[in-house]
Amino acid sequence: MQMSKPSKRALVLVNLGTPAAPTAEAVRDYLSEFLMDPRVVQLPRLLWWPLLHWVILPRRSPVVAHKYAAIWTEEGSPLAAFTRRLAARVQSAMPQWRVAMAMRYGEPALAKTLEGLIADGVDEIAVLPLYPQYSTTTTGSVEDVVAKLRARHPQIMFKCVHDYHRDPRWVEAIAASIRAHWQQHGRGEQLLFSFHGIPERLVRNGDPYAAHCEAGTAAIAEALGIARDDILLTYQSRFGRDRWLQPYTLPTLQQLARDGVRDVDVVCPGFAVDCLETLEEIAMLNAEAFIAAGGHALRYIPCLNDGDAHVQAIQSIVGAHA
Ligand SMILES: C=CC1=C(C)c2cc3[nH]c(cc4nc(cc5[nH]c(cc1n2)c(C)c5CCC(=O)O)C(CCC(=O)O)=C4C)c(C)c3C=C
Ligand SMILES: [Fe+2]
Ligand SMILES: [Fe+2]
C-alpha cells in the first residue's frame, strides 16, 4: 500500500487577530498585545506603556467588549470564524499545499504556527497576510515575525506576499460582489469605499497604503465599467488624536444624507473578511448615523469572506508568487 507523503509546502493565511471572548478581560489582553506593537503605535515605550495600561485599556476595554458582543457568533468572533472557514475552503481547493491560518495578535499565534509547520517537516512556507493593501502597520508587522523566523531557520524557504490590491482576480471578485448587490437591490445613488485609516504621518514617511487604496479603487471602477469619480473613497476607524487619512467615513456619510442622497452602497475593500470594523462600525453605527442625518438606507456589501471568488483570488495570488 502506498502512503501519500505529507506536503512539504505550506500556505499560511494571516489575519490581524481578535479577542478570544466578548469580555473586557479578553479585549484588554488582545488590545494590549496589538497596541504595544511598535509598528502600530510609534510613541516611546516608556511613555506609551503606562498610558495604554493605566488610562486607555481600563476605559476602552469594556466599551469595545460591548461592541464585540453585538456581533459575536456561535463560532466566536466573526473575524476568526470567517478566517477559519476561508482557510478550510482554500485547503480543499489547494490539496497540494498544507494550508493553515494564523493571527498576528492572539491565537493561533503566527510565530507558533510557523514553528509548528517547520517542526512537522515543511520546508517551504508561503505567507499571505490578508491585507490587499500594504501598510507598515499591518503587513509590515507580519513581515517582522517572518523575518525573525527566517533568521532562526535559514534552511526554510519563506515567501511573503507584499500586497494584492491590483491582482486581477481580487479586483474582479470585489467588482462581482458589487454587481451582484446591484442586480439584487438596484444601484444606490452613491457608491462609497471605506478603508481602515492610518495616521497621515505614516503616509508622509513613505507608507504606500493610501496609494494602494487609490490604485485598487481605480482598478475596481474600471472592472465595473464606471468612472473613478463615481466612487467616494473614505477612511474609517480613527484611533487616537493624530490626524488620520481623510476624508473620514462617518462625516462623509452624514454630509451625503444632508445633501439629499437617499441610498448609499458601502464596500470595505481593505478587509478580507467581515469583522468589528465592518459589521459594527459600518453596517450598524454608521448606517444608523446616515439615517439620523436624513438618509434612507446604507446598504452594506459584505467582504469576500469564505466565498468562491475569494478562494479563487487567493489561488491566483499564491500562484503568481509561487
Ligand atoms: C485592514 C487594515 C487595517 C489597518 C491598516 C489597521 C490599522 C490600525 N488599526 C489601529 C487600531 C485598531 N484597529 C482595531 C480593529 C481592527 N483593525 C483592523 C484592520 C486594520 N487596522 C481589523 C480587521 C480590526 C477588527 C478586528 C476584529 O476583531 O474584528 C482596533 C480594535 C477595536 C477598537 O478598539 O476600536 C483598534 C484599537 C491602529 C492604531 C492602526 C494603525 C496605526
Ligand atoms: Fe485597525
Ligand atoms: Fe473601529
For residue 272, pLDDT over 90 is answered with: yes
Fold matches, 9-164+309-321 and 168-301 = yes
Q: How many Cα atoms occupy the beta-carbon half-sphere of 218 within 13 Å?
A: 6
For residue 198, pLDDT over 70 is answered with: yes
Mean pLDDT to the nearest integer, 197-223: 98
- Find out whether the beta carbon of 127 lies less than 6 Å from any atom of ligand 1: no
Q: How far is the CA of 269 from the centre of ligand 1 (A)?
A: 14
Mean pLDDT to the nearest integer, 145-159: 98
pTM value is: 0.97
User: Given this model, what pLDDT does residue 306 score?
Assistant: 98
User: Given this model, what pLDDT does residue 6 score?
Assistant: 62
Mean pLDDT to the nearest integer, 101-111: 98
For residue 133, pLDDT over 70 is answered with: yes
Domain ranges of the chain: 9-164+309-321, 168-301
**Considering the chain, what is the average pLDDT of its residues?**
97
Torsion of CA 127, 144, 130, 194, to 10 degrees: -160
CATH classification (class only), 168-301: alpha beta
Handedness of CA 297, 269, 139, 234 (dihedral sign): negative
User: Given this model, what pLDDT does residue 44 score?
Assistant: 97
User: Given this model, what pLDDT does residue 320 score?
Assistant: 76
> Does the complex come out with an ipTM higher than 0.90?
yes
For residue 236, pLDDT over 90 is answered with: yes
Mean pLDDT to the nearest integer, 238-257: 97
Query: So what's the architecture of 9-164+309-321 in CATH?
Result: 3-Layer(aba) Sandwich (3.40)
* Burial grade of 75 (CB within 10 A; 0-12, 13-18, 19 or more): exposed
**Residue with cell string 490578508:** 130
Percent of the chain surpassing pLDDT 90: 96
Contacts of 83 (CB under 8 A, 6+ apart): 13, 15, 101, 103, 130, 272, 273
Q: Which of 234, 277, 280, 304 to mutate to test the pocket of ligand 1 (most atoms within 8 A of CB)?
A: 277
